[in-house]
Structure 1
Amino acid sequence: MSKIMKIKDVSDYSRYLGHTDRHPLVSVINYAEVSPIRHSLNNYSVYGIFFHDQQDIDLTYGCGKYDYKSGTVICVAPGQIGGKEDNGERVMLTGWALLFHPDLLRGTPLCKNIKQYTFFDYRVHEALHMTDEEHDIFVSLMQQIRNELQKPHDELQNAILIAYIELVLNFCQRFYNRQFTTRKLENSDILMKFDNLLNDYYEKNTQLTLGLPTVQYCADKLCMSPNYFGDVIKKTTGDTASNYIRQHVIQRVKNELATGASIVLVADDLGFKYPQHLSRMFKQQTGSTPSEYSERLRQK
């Protein structure tokens, strides 16, 4: 049974490392100042952004493992488990950690908007790999947040800290966008696998037991988190993964309608729960009903 440390507050992680916090809801840790440290497998109730500079460590995240390489950023959200179980080994690390409690964001726009940062739900093998310039930007931001934490608390400090955190998140998003762009070949390979997966789904009649294909199903089959998969497809095609699936399904609907099959038969064959669902999706995607489409085919 793995021993998991519960990180209910930022101070729980800081205390384990021997770091002293200056704020109850925000912690910035320079690993070089607290090393050597022992590993820990953590259950987070806080947000965390971690990056190490040099050390290669095998870490666990959820049910999977991955190689944590130099210059890699890992983002965790409340409810997630990550790290490496304490085996008594002490390791020297350089790099930084930023942890902040959800309570800090309560009542602020970021509290609602933080869900837009989908990288918190990426799997670790989908982590951000920074360039040297990106690394320097992150280090600079960590230093600025830490400098703010050294100042006496006043009525503006939390707002300033939240602004810094939002800046970090926006840079994370920019750097991920860059990573998606620089991995175009890899992304096109994913798109090809996505197409093959959708074709296989129907060739193997999976729809007869599972219904219409879903983003979750496709992401799982491609060993990706739904958020990362969705973001890759959006960056590659300009469309959402769910809409890409719908377009694939509608093309199959058109093919079957062209054979003269009834709407009821087509709906049943392609995995729709009810014929009305097919009609609604068809109208949304094409602007006409299946009946109107069939009628136009007959007039040709």
Structure 2
Amino acid sequence: MESKINTINSVTQYHKLCVLTMPLHPLVSVVNMAEIDFFLHEEFWKHYVNNLYTISIKRGMNSKLIYGQTDFDFDEGVLVVTSPKQVISIEKLEDIKLTGYKFIFHPDFIKGSSLSKSIHQYGFFAYNNNKALFLSEKEEQIILNLFSSIEQECQNNIDQFSQDVMIANIELLLVHIDRYYNRQFITRKNISNDTLSKMEEILNEYFKSEINQLPTVQHVADQLNLTPTYLSDLLKNLTGLTAQQHIHEKMIAKAKELLSTTNLSVSEIAFQLGFEYPQSFNKLFKKKTDLTPLEFKQTFN
């Protein structure tokens, strides 16, 4: 019989597990992490599923946090974003001496609003990357000010405007985080260029092999210890192309090499590159080069 996975399904439950006073709002809360007691329910935190959105500014994270399948690195970054239904594990709880603040909200809070649809467009919720986001002092203060605005609204008497005001603050919060992630891609170009170089090596080796299957973004991302979304966003900021477009560019370059230097037929090349049907290869090649593979091959005859 499989063991039951610990799950956080509500803001109130989160407060109880953290040994905090009851939240001022049933679906939204700003938590002072210095007040959290992880030890009363120590076993729970070792492995659990969180069904809430969380945005945290953390300091003193000496323990090991695993989000999905990836370890978080807090050496430089302080901001962490998680989405519902993610598996989280905390190791070395005895080393936790957290300070900072965490904003949590239940998906039902934004249900029916425009944010319930647009929130999925923020790629950072799908990054699961191993780097917490670095913030400057000014950026950190902007985030904390928005936390404070939401907390103050929770303390007010709930009226017909309360939800709209808080959702507006959440939307502004997400825009700022998106901005800071994009800034991090730009300011850390050395790291980004290193990722691009490693991706080139991975694709070169892949197309040298006899796998006869197109490489996927997931495969490349796994090799780089990144998620597909994070990799695509990083490359988009660096080169203007997504990870999928990079794969297609590399595949077209390999196709041109085979078409111009071998006697293989178009169908044989399509199969070697991982296409089940030559028509699919022809269509993509024509889209990228304005020539069919056969037309391209004939220019070398």
Secondary structure of the 2:104 match is: strand
Q: Tell me: CA distance 1:196–1:67, structure 2 relative to 1, closer, same or farther (3 Å).
A: closer
* Secondary structure in structure 2 of the residue aligned to 1:284: helix
Give me the whole-angstrom Cα distance separating, in 2, the residues matched to 1:71 and 1:262.
52
> Is the CA contact (8 Å cut-off) linking 1:58 and 1:68 kept in structure 2?
no
Which residue of structure 2 lines up, in the alignment, with residue 203 of structure 1?
Answer: 208
Letter in 1 for 2:80: I
Among 185, 190, 202, the residue aligned to 1:185: 190
C-alpha change, 1:83 and 1:135, in structure 2 (3 Å) is farther
Q: Name the residue aligned to 1:66.
A: 72
Deviations for 1:59-110, whole angstroms, at most 9, x for unmatched residues? 12223333434751111111102241695x4854321111111112222221
Counterparts in 2 of 1:262 and 1:65: CA distance versus 1, 3 Å = same
Task: Quote the residue 2:24 is aligned against.
Answer: 22
Equivalent position of 2:228 in the other structure: 226
- Who is 1:139 aligned against? 144
Distance in 1, matches of 2:76 and 2:195, equals: 25
Aligned partner letter, 2:183: R
Tell me how far apart the structure 2 counterparts of residues 233 and 118 of structure 1 sit (CA, whole Å). Answer: 13
- Pick one of 171, 175, 178 that aligns with 2:180: 175
TM-superposed CA distance for 1:156, in Å, is 1.4
Q: Per the alignment, in what secondary structure is the counterpart of residue 130 of structure 2? A: helix
TM-score (norm 2): 0.90
Structure 1 CA distance for aligned equivalents of residues 129 and 4 of structure 2: 20
Q: Over aligned residues, Cα RMSD in angstroms? A: 2.2
Q: When the two structures are aligned, how many residues end up with a matched partner?
A: 293
C-alpha separation between the residues in 2 aligned to 1:63 and 1:2? 19
Of 266, 272, 275, 1:272 maps to: 275
What's the TM-score, normalizing by structure 1? Answer: 0.90
CA contact (8 A) 1:53 1:94 kept: yes
| C-alpha distance 170-23 of structure 1, shift in aligned 2 (>3 A) | same
What one-letter code is carried by the residue in structure 2 that aligns with 1:166? E
Amino acid at match of 2:162: Q
Q: What is the distance in 1 between the residues matched to 2:6 and 2:92? A: 10
Cα separation, partners in 2 of 1:2 and 1:178, compared to 1, 3 Å? farther
The residue number in structure 2 matching 1:100 is 105
Whether the aligned pair in 2 keeps the contact of 1:3 and 1:85 (CA below 8 Å) is: no
1:111-126 equivalent positions in 2, closer than 5 A: 111-126=116-131
Contact 2:115–2:171 (CA<8 Å) still a contact in 1?
yes
Paired position in structure 2 for 1:262? 265
CA displacement at 1:193 relative to structure 2: 0.6
Structure 2: runs of 5 or more not aligned = none
1:251 equivalent in structure 2: 253
* 8 Å contact from structure 1 (residues 55, 70) kept in 2: no
Q: Which amino acid aligns with 1:293?
A: F
Give the secondary structure class of the aligned counterpart of 2:66: strand
Using the TM superposition, give the Cα deviation of residue 241 of structure 1 relative to its aligned residue in structure 2, in angstroms.
0.8
User: What is the match of residue 7 of structure 2?
Assistant: 6
Q: Give 1:236's match in structure 2, choosing from 210, 235, 238.
A: 238
Q: Within 2, Cα distance between the matches of 1:14 and 1:69? A: 27
Structure 1: where are the runs of 5+ without partners?
A: none
Deviation at 1:153, TM superposition (A): 0.9
Residues 12, 23 of structure 2: 8 Å contact kept? yes
What whole-Å deviation, never above 9, does each CA across 1:104-142 have from its counterpart, x for those lacking one? 222222111111111112225132121211111111111
Displacement of 1:261 after TM fit? Answer: 2.9
Alignment check: 8 A CA contact 1:279 1:290 kept: yes
Residue of structure 2 equivalent to 1:288: 291
Counterparts of 1:242 and 1:124 in 2: how far apart (Å)?
Answer: 18
Q: Per the alignment, do residues 269 and 93 of structure 1 end up closer, same or farther by CA in structure 2, a change over 3 Å counting?
A: closer
Structure 1 window deviating more from structure 2 (170-179 vs 101-110): it is 101-110
Contact persistence 2:126–2:227 (CA under 8 A): yes
Deviation of the 1:246 alpha carbon: 0.3
Q: CA deviation at 1:57?
A: 2.4
